[in-house]
Chain A
């Protein structure tokens, strides 16, 4: 009995010291991490909606017509007082894990830009989706994501038809195209119903 008490005490004490240390480190790094996240989000938003606009997070949930594709945070893009577009965070099932991306949509139903936030695609193949030096059109230096710019949400978004696929990565190409299309459609119908104004 005595022995068990002693063992418990020692382990408990070490656990407590460890917990205390971690609490201290967490307190010290938490503000840095938070600032970093905010900075990255801001940079991501301005990347999919280039220009000097104001982004505002909306406290609404938009429903995706496709159960496999999920829509997360919704931001409106404002130029002065006018809402000129929206940015949606969507997650689309990729090759190994969901591809999480930001999709910017103009109010007139054109895609303004796409950025991949998280993905676990095969290096050298599917991972080229977010590679800034992998061009689907070498002559014009258009990357895989660039080709979605100014595309109408009513387009089919089918790789090898109106989307140039990444060589050897059909699953990734389709996943990204589908995600962008759904985000575009959802945002467009939201605007048409008078949302965001």
Chain B
């Protein structure tokens, strides 16, 4: 059990896909201008990542080494399309706003990276936990970024007014550059915390 917790923790902090591995940043910048967008993206991303890791891990002995990447892409594309169809059917207004980025989950480097680096080499249960850990790691980061950007850029969190309406929103926060700013601050914070921990050891 300890092993699985370690795999999950690995995705949340020491190998956080956004802050430490720093991959798949394009869609992170795009969907974090509001908490609702980030939330739907987290669901879509987690679903595709976990499902793909399980299937790829289960098939890893049957997948010939030469064509593993095309197979990864087919599996990931299938789950992405399922996620897009479900989002379109049940969350149509948010889907309209970020559909491009949901569809682009297909080529999200985090997912194909985890398929290649983890699921293809590890048993199903481990891959399931890796998927969960990476999904939590991805989701908490994009939700945190989105909360900060929406709060300062629009005075709201998830559409609820937080700052009094007299607050004049800092427009830059919901424009793409602020995505990099907030990510940068988070990366700095996580790196220093991890380094301090190591120094203590």
Q: Which residues of A contact B (CB under 8 A)?
A: 6-7, 10-11, 14-15, 18, 21-22, 25-26, 29, 32-33, 36, 40, 118, 122-125
Q: Which residues of B contact A (CB under 8 A)?
A: 33, 59, 62-64, 66-67, 70-71, 74-75, 77-78, 81-82, 85-86, 88-90, 92, 96, 153-154, 169, 171, 174-175
Q: How far is the CB of B146 from chain A (nearest CB, A)?
A: 13
**A contact patch SS:** helix
Residues of chain B lying within 8 A (CB to CB) of residue A7: 64, 66-67
Instruction: Give which listed residue, A6, A18, A25, A125, contacts B74 with CB less than 8 A.
Output: A18
CB pair A26 B96 closer than 8 Å: no
Provide the bound-state CA to CA distance between A176 and B154, in Å.
23
Provide the bound-state CA to CA distance between A118 and B66, in Å.
43
23 interchain pairs, CB-CB under 8 A: A6-B64, A7-B64, A7-B66, A10-B63, A10-B64, A10-B71, A14-B71, A18-B75, A21-B78, A21-B82, A22-B78, A25-B82, A25-B85, A33-B88, A33-B89, A40-B92, A123-B33, A123-B153, A123-B175, A124-B153, A124-B154, A124-B171, A124-B175
**Can you name 19 extra interface pairs (CB under 8 A) apart from A11-B67, A32-B89, A124-B174?**
A6-B64, A7-B64, A7-B67, A14-B71, A14-B75, A15-B74, A18-B77, A21-B78, A21-B82, A25-B82, A25-B85, A26-B85, A32-B90, A40-B92, A122-B175, A123-B33, A123-B175, A124-B153, A124-B169
Q: Give A11's nearest chain B residue, CB to CB.
A: B67
Provide the bound-state CA to CA distance between A36 and B89, in Å.
7
Provide the bound-state CA to CA distance between A6 and B64, in Å.
9
Q: How far is the CB of A60 from chain B (nearest CB, A)?
A: 28
Instruction: Give which listed residue, A18, A33, A40, A118, contacts B78 with CB less than 8 A.
Output: A18
Provide the bound-state CA to CA distance between A64 and B153, in Å.
38
Provide the bound-state CA to CA distance between A188 and B201, in Å.
79
Q: How far is the CB of A29 from chain B (nearest CB, A)?
A: 4
Provide the bound-state CA to CA distance between A22 and B77, in Å.
10
CB pair A36 B92 closer than 8 Å: yes
Q: How far is the CB of B7 from chain A (nearest CB, A)?
A: 26
CB pair A29 B171 closer than 8 Å: no
Do A22 and B81 form a contact, CB below 8 Å, given A14-B71, A124-B169?
yes
Residues of chain A lying within 8 A (CB to CB) of residue B154: 124
Provide the bound-state CA to CA distance between A118 and B99, in Å.
12
Provide the bound-state CA to CA distance between A11 and B75, in Å.
11
Residues of chain B lying within 8 A (CB to CB) of residue A36: 89, 92
Provide the bound-state CA to CA distance between A12 and B175, in Å.
43
